[in-house]
Amino acid sequence: MNAIKFFFSVLFVGLGLQMMAQGLSVGDQAPDFKLKNINDRMVSLSDFKAQKGYIIVFTCNHCPYAVMYEDRINALNNKYSDLGYQVIAINPNDPAVQPQDSFDEMKKRAKEKNFNFPYLFDEGQKVYPMYGATRTPHFFVLDANKTVKYIGALDDNAQDANAVTIKYIENAIDAMAKGKNPEPSFTKAVGCTIKTAKK
Amino acid sequence: MGVVFKFLLGLSIFAANLQLQAQNVEIYRNFDDFEAKYLKTPAENDTMYIINFWATWCAPCVKELPHFEKAIRKHRDNSKVQFIFASLDFSHQIETKLKPFVIRRPYMKRNVAISDPRQQIWIDKVSEEWSGSIPMTLLKYKDQYAAIEGAFHYKEDLFVEIEKFTNKHIK
């Protein structure tokens, strides 16, 4: 009897751990994806050859926190794309729940803000759970082998770009360039929940 | 006549002030002060705090507020259950957006605005389980906490969480 109880408790603990392990942690291998870009072409990580790394950001049109970072994401791409770090933005929201995040609205916003990086639509919401994104904006920095090196915020002040004291992503990439692991490799930030239909 | 008028005027200003005061927004530029007041309460404090982290710009947050109104009504006779609305509105919108919003909703009696930019530090202090997305509701009794991330779609969902927490930690 006790053996059975033990078996079940081990089983449940196992299930619990598995549920907790959903999404990526620093050190994990990030999965590739194939998502539609605002130019209607499909984009995968493997399309970018000879990269030193990738900066993937789950972001969207409607969230004020995402909006506050639009210019900074543009700047990040301008600074790092020539150095071999590709910025890729992914909108994870269900437009049935948040119409402002539809594919057409993404095209409009990208044009208004002159996005010079891919802005992909997570159609069917398959990619953001694999990465474990929980909010917008949510950044993941990968190295050339797609190993996750950093998860979290771009910097330490969402509201005021001029008052930023720590640029987490820039520091992470500087560390990676020196062959070191970023410190910190994980930060938290306020953001909008990812919009999904009620379960 | 003049005296009576002045008296009445004074009285009405006083009353209006009371009304506003009841819905004042405490602004915390330093999270530690908020923590000291609401999270690290003295051991003898036996009030259950229900702290809703929200913002006027957050659509799902605003959408779930009516459920909180109903929960407040349900617990109105119990002074040991306190609802606190912790706004993450941007500092420059506290006067223009947040205050007018809460004044239109008299049930939002205790309002705080956390405008400490050191989010990566204080999010963990609220709860290590919280990713930082809002809405998030924190149930707190003495040193027991439950962090519920995401919106309540129905008032019953909120009622059930409060009841579960109460049964587990208070009764």
Of A163, A188, A198, the CB nearest to B132: A188
Q: Is residue B98 part of a domain?
A: yes
Cβ-contact A120, A34 below 8 angstroms: no
The continuous run of DSSP H or E covering B162 comes out as: helix B155-169
Cβ contact A134:B147 at 8 Å: no
Mean pLDDT for chain A overall? 90
Distance of CA A121 to the CA centre of its chain: 12
Quickly state the pLDDT bin for B24 (edges 50, 70, 90). Answer: confident
pLDDT band of B144, cuts 50, 70, 90 = very high
What is the pLDDT at residue A14?
Answer: 44
- Cβ separation A159–B117 shorter than 8 A: yes
Residue of B nearest to A192 (CA): B133
Residues of B in contact with A64 (CB under 8 A): 55, 57, 90
Nearest CA in chain B to A153: B120
The pLDDT score that the predictor gives to residue A104 is 97
Per-residue tokens: B53: 């982290």
- Chain B residues close to A187, C-beta within 8 Å: 120
CATH topology of domain A24-193: Glutaredoxin (3.40.30)
Residue A68: pLDDT over 70: yes
Q: Which of A156, A187, A198 sits opposite B117 (nearest CB)?
A: A156
Residue B121 has pLDDT above 80, yes or no: yes
In this prediction, residue A140 carries a pLDDT of 98
- For chain A, give me the number of helices (H) and strands (E)? 5, 9
pLDDT at A3: 56
Give A113-140 pLDDT, tens digit per residue.
999 999 999 999 999 999 999 999 999 9
Residue B150 with chain A: CB contacts under 8 Å? 193
Domain range for residue B57?
Answer: 25-169
In chain B, how many domains are there? 1
Confidence of residue A107 (pLDDT cuts 50, 70, 90): very high
- State residue B27's pLDDT score: 96
Residue of A nearest to B56 (CA): A64
Instruction: Please check whether residue B14 lies inside any domain of the structure.
Output: no
Q: Per the structure block, which two tokens stand in for B32?
A: 């530690």
- Asked if the model's pLDDT at residue B9 lies above 80, the reply is no
**Residue B145 three-state SS:** strand
Two tokens, residue A139:
């950044």
Closest Cα in chain A, distance from residue B134 (Å)? 6
Instruction: Tell me what percent of the residues of chain A surpass a pLDDT of 70.
Output: 88
CATH number for the domain including B67?
3.40.30.10
Q: Of A28-42, A153-167, B17-31, B100-114, where does mean pLDDT reach its minimum? A: B17-31
| CA B82/CA B75 separation, integer angstroms | 9
In whole angstroms, give the CA distance from residue A52 to residue A145: 8
Interval B76-99: pLDDT, tens: 999 999 999 999 999 899 999 999
- Bond prior to A137 in cis (omega within 30° of 0): yes
Q: What is the per-residue pLDDT for B126?
A: 97
Average pLDDT in the A65-79 region?
Answer: 95
- For B133, name the nearest residue in chain A, comparing CA atoms only: A191
pTM for this entry? 0.83
Q: B3 pLDDT band (50/70/90 cuts)?
A: low
Residue B162, domain member (yes or no): yes
Residues B162, B163, B167, B171, CA torsion sign: positive
Task: Give a yes or no: residue B161 inside a domain.
Answer: yes
Identify whether B115 is part of a domain: yes
Taking residues B33-61, report their average pLDDT.
95
Best of A128, A134, A193 to disrupt the B interface (most B CBs within 10 Å) is A193
Q: Return the pLDDT at A198.
A: 65
Report CB contact under 8 Å: A189, B120: yes
Does residue B9 belong to any structural domain of this protein? no
The answer to whether position B16 is within a domain reads no
C-beta separation of B103 from B20 below 8 A:
yes
User: Quick one: tokens of A15?
Assistant: 């299930």
Contacts of B90 in chain A (CB under 8 A): 64, 159
Overall average pLDDT of the B133-156 stretch: 96
The residues near A100 (Cβ < 8 Å, ≥ 6 apart) are A60, A61, A62
- Write down the pLDDT at residue B37: 94
Domain layout of chain A by residue ranges: 24-193
Contact A156 B120 (CB under 8 A): yes
Question: Could you read off the pLDDT of A143-191 as tens digits, one per residue?
Answer: 999 999 999 999 999 988 999 999 999 999 999 999 999 999 999 999 9
- Residue A9 has a pLDDT of 52
Whether B106 maps to a domain, the answer reads yes
**pLDDT at B138 exceeding the cut of 90:** yes
